Amino acid sequence: MTSDGELREEIKNLLPEIYDTVEKYIALNPPFGKSFVPLEKDEDAPEIIKRMFDAADAAKTGPMASVAGAIAEALFRRVEKKFRTLIIENGGDIFLTSDSALTCGLYSGTGFDNFGIRIKKEFMPCGISRSSSKIGRSVSFGKSALATVISRSGAAADAFATMLANKIHSEAALKNAVNECAAQKNVIGCAGIFEDKIAFAGDIEFLKT
């Protein structure tokens, strides 16, 4: 977490509450925590859960593909009013705002680690999520070194990052997967890395950091 004010104690109090909401829902609805495909939306669920249902439906993933991004945004929304700059990071999934453009670095363990994505002020607040079959704990059915997605929704950014990573199986599939992801109405822009090749699409600027 980064901000232009003190938030540590407030975050300590809010985060367990948000996690508890998700964990309790999973305990009562086990398929929600296990499915790799969208499920019928529960209109009586807590707001964070409904956002996860919606993101999964849009990206054609399971609801839990959006959990880290959804939690980052939920936490952001509880405290955002106090700050000009606020960056909430949850295991590689980010929700942020700033009074100026920001650059988000890319880490993939490849030759592209000195590159980043420039995020325009006009798109903030927004979520930035990544998935990979090579690094981290993401469940991925593809072979991507990195799949990164920017969306105005934290849950959608996370779910679409999973979708993008699942579709990157080869160099030949890379560009089509990135273009398909960027064409989704919830996606601002995205980037994908396969071995020593990178592709990006959408309203983003790709640059050296």
The arithmetic mean of pLDDT across residues 131-146, rounded, is 82
pLDDT band at 93 (very low <50, low <70, confident <90, very high): very high
Q: DSSP character for 194? A: E
Residue 139: give the domain boundaries. Answer: 2-208
**So what's the pLDDT on residue 209?**
63
**E-strand spans in the chain?**
2-3, 86-90, 93-97, 102-105, 115-119, 126-131, 146-151, 187-194, 197-202, 205-208
Question: What total of structural domains would you count in the chain?
Answer: 1
The tens digit of pLDDT for each residue in 13-36 reads 899 999 999 999 999 999 999 999
| Contact of 41 with 54, CB cutoff 8 Å | yes
Q: DSSP character for 122? A: G
Which residues, 6+ apart, have CB-to-CB distance to 136 below 8 Å?
Answer: 91, 92, 130
Tracing tokens 């607040």 back to the chain, one arrives at 125
Residue of 139, 159, 138 whose CA lies nearest to 149: 159
**Burial class for 165, CB neighbours closer than 10 Å (0-12, 13-18, 19+):** buried
Residue of 136, 176, 143, 183 whose CA lies nearest to 160: 183
Cα(25)–Cα(188) distance, integer angstroms: 30
CATH number, domain with residue 17: 3.10.520.10
Residue of 98, 50, 43 whose CA lies nearest to 74: 50
**So what's the pLDDT on residue 133?**
82
pLDDT band at 155 (very low <50, low <70, confident <90, very high): very high
The tens digit of pLDDT for each residue in 163-172 reads 999 999 999 9
Strands 86-90 and 2-3: antiparallel
